[in-house]
Amino acid sequence: MQRFIDRIREGLAQATGLERDELKIESPRDSKLGDLAFPCFPLARKLKQAPPKIAAELAEKVRIAGITTVATGPYLNFRIDRKELAETVLGEIQGAQENFGESKIGLGKTVVLDYSSPNIAKRFHVGHLRSTIIGAAVRRLHDALGYRTIGINHIGDWGSQFGKLVAAIDRWGDTVDLENDPLEALSTLYVRVNEEEKSDPELAEAGRAAFRELESGKQGHVRETWKHLTELSLQEFDRAYQRLGVTFDFVRGEAFYEPYLRSTIERIVEAGVAETSEGALVVSLEGFKEKMPPCLLEKSDGTTLYATRDLAAAFHRFEEFRFERCLYVVGSAQKLHFQQLKAVLKRMNLEWEPRLEHVDFGMLSLPGGKLSSRKGSVLLLDELLNRAVEEARKVIEDKNPDLTDADRIAEEVGIGAVIFNDLKRERIKDVVFEWSEVLSFEGETGPYVQYTHARLASILRKGAGREGSLDGSLLENAAPILLSLGRFPGVVRNAAENSEPSELAQFLLSLCREINSWLVPNKVLSEDPGLASSRLVLVRGAKICIRSGLRLLGVAAPEEM
């Protein structure tokens, strides 16, 4: 598609004398009007003429090979020759194969992504699922554009609760099964210590002392215990990451930035933006258009905060990676936190402050209510994934009882359904989890896209040996599919730019709908060898595109299901 856009820009530039890059080409609102459109409004002022008049004149004047121009109101619409459309788009896919959609626009630039980032010693619950899924997808989208991406799991491994846990392990460690079910054991201990410290000042003091020792950096029993419980928690999280196909370059929790806290505070003080208020060190954030309380750097007792550690992390990341973007994939509940973080950097006049972006998202909930670790209605991640796989297996067995390798496919469909369900809507919207909806083979679901892919794979298997030459003029009635395929690289680019995987998910849904409705009246394996061959090339191209799209979202594309 880019090739046609370039050609149109070239023709328009010649006719108008404008710079090519100034000429915005878009999709017409109604696809019946044309394949691409040029809105003439921006020219009105320059040429001192009404847009419809400009459009009419340009339609007369502009001549572009293989493209016809028609003026409709203030728009100049373009229709690409059908034969050339098919041969260009499918030729591009044949050349790129599974790399179709990739480009090099990010080459030499680095994007840091902070995603998943659960709090250790707690169960990984579905609340962190969205960050993991969205973050990993946004990362793959940037990878596809040639960026160097750095994935960081900023786990919550610091704070006074870890002192309490160490004290609790010291007292009751032998009453729980820390090694075999660490997260269960740790949450039991955490509940118990919070309960008993109320009436046991010695226990409370032991917890505080343990955290002081942790903060002092001293090596020894306390630090060893804390390290051990971090490792146990991470082993549990890794299981979920593996199932979801998610990886990180670094697991750097809040504790990692401990050694940099002093220099961070000094730096902020030296910039002249810190002040003391009631014994605490704060940065006042008045005067920003968003109303914000001051950012607390250090409490009166000398302890630092979540925000202090995020400031240290921001400096550390910029110094190490010189990022073009630093994306924080964190729920919208932390909007204020990231506003404050950016506001502090802005007050310090750091030119790279705009490169920090809070990629926020809405809540994930089950029909029963919101999933919060505090409120008890927690659905554990493993349980959620297991149930999805189980349900997927039922659906698959029902549809295709003879499927070999049903275990693997049930896993791919079940997990794929959970991921797709999370990514299909604008991320800021809340997600309600309805089992029947998530796993349906029809409608806006992962299984629907996977199923369409498997259907194409099956057609290709049946047509093995008959796929060869392509005559684009035989694919006239597949124009909507071809136009969509041609748009794919642009969709990937925009989805990355906006950190919005839903743009890709929605693209895939609409591509699948177009394909499925085209397949109804068009028999691919026609008796006519030329027709069958060209249609098979189209099916191959569509299959490659769906597969690439699913891969970028983190969803498997089984050949059969």
| The two structure tokens encoding residue 143 | 């990878």
Q: Are 142 and 496 in contact (CB under 8 A)?
A: yes
Quickly tell me which residue has 């994939």 as its tokens. 329
Distance from C-alpha of 395 to C-alpha of 392, rounded to nearest angstrom? 5
- Closer CB to ligand ARG, residue 237 or residue 488? 237
Q: How far is the CB of 87 from ligand ARG (least distance, A)?
A: 48
| Residue nearest to ligand ARG as judged by C-beta position | 156
328: β partners: 114, 358
Distance from C-alpha of 274 to C-alpha of 268, rounded to nearest angstrom? 6
| Residues sharing a CB contact under 8 Å with residue 85, sequence separation 6 or more, in sequence order | 4, 35, 472, 479, 482, 483, 486
Q: SS3 for 526?
A: coil
Half-sphere exposure of 110 (CA within 13 A, CB side): 10
Q: How far is the CB of 357 from ligand ARG (least distance, A)?
A: 12
Which residue in 53, 109, 122, 346 is the catalytic one? 122
Q: Are 416 and 395 in contact (CB under 8 A)?
A: no
Distance from C-alpha of 492 to C-alpha of 356, rounded to nearest angstrom? 21
- Closer CB to ligand ARG, residue 155 or residue 553? 155
Q: How far is the CB of 207 from ligand ARG (least distance, A)?
A: 20
Distance from C-alpha of 218 to C-alpha of 229, rounded to nearest angstrom? 17
Q: How far is the CB of 250 from ligand ARG (least distance, A)?
A: 12
- Closer CB to ligand ARG, residue 147 or residue 328? 328
Residue length, the chain? 561
Distance from C-alpha of 26 to C-alpha of 24, rounded to nearest angstrom? 7
Which residue in 125, 142, 154, 164 is the catalytic one? 125
Q: How far is the CB of 263 from ligand ARG (least distance, A)?
A: 18
- Closer CB to ligand ARG, residue 119 or residue 452? 119
Closest CA to 158 of 361, 313, 29: 313
Binding site for ligand ARG (CB under 6 A): 114, 117-119, 154, 156, 310, 313, 328, 330
- Closer CB to ligand ARG, residue 161 or residue 548? 161
Q: How far is the CB of 311 from ligand ARG (least distance, A)?
A: 10
- Closer CB to ligand ARG, residue 236 or residue 391? 236
| Residues sharing a CB contact under 8 Å with residue 178, sequence separation 6 or more, in sequence order | 169, 185, 186, 229, 232
Is 128 labeled as catalytic in the residue annotation? yes
151: β partners: 113
Half-sphere exposure of 188 (CA within 13 A, CB side): 14
Closest CA to 492 of 96, 66, 62: 96
Q: How far is the CB of 153 from ligand ARG (least distance, A)?
A: 9
Half-sphere exposure of 176 (CA within 13 A, CB side): 21
Judging by DSSP bridges, how do beta strands 325-329 and 356-359 pair with one another? parallel
Q: How far is the CB of 113 from ligand ARG (least distance, A)?
A: 11
Given CA atoms 533, 534, 535, 540 in this order, what sign does their dihedral have?
A: positive
What beta strand segments (E) does 397-452 contain? 431-432
- Closer CB to ligand ARG, residue 313 or residue 538? 313
Q: How far is the CB of 331 from ligand ARG (least distance, A)?
A: 8
Q: Are 24 and 39 in contact (CB under 8 A)?
A: yes
Q: Are 452 and 515 in contact (CB under 8 A)?
A: yes
- Closer CB to ligand ARG, residue 327 or residue 512? 327
Half-sphere exposure of 263 (CA within 13 A, CB side): 9
Closest CA to 388 of 355, 424, 431, 417: 417
- Closer CB to ligand ARG, residue 119 or residue 161? 119
Task: List active site positions.
Answer: 122, 125, 128
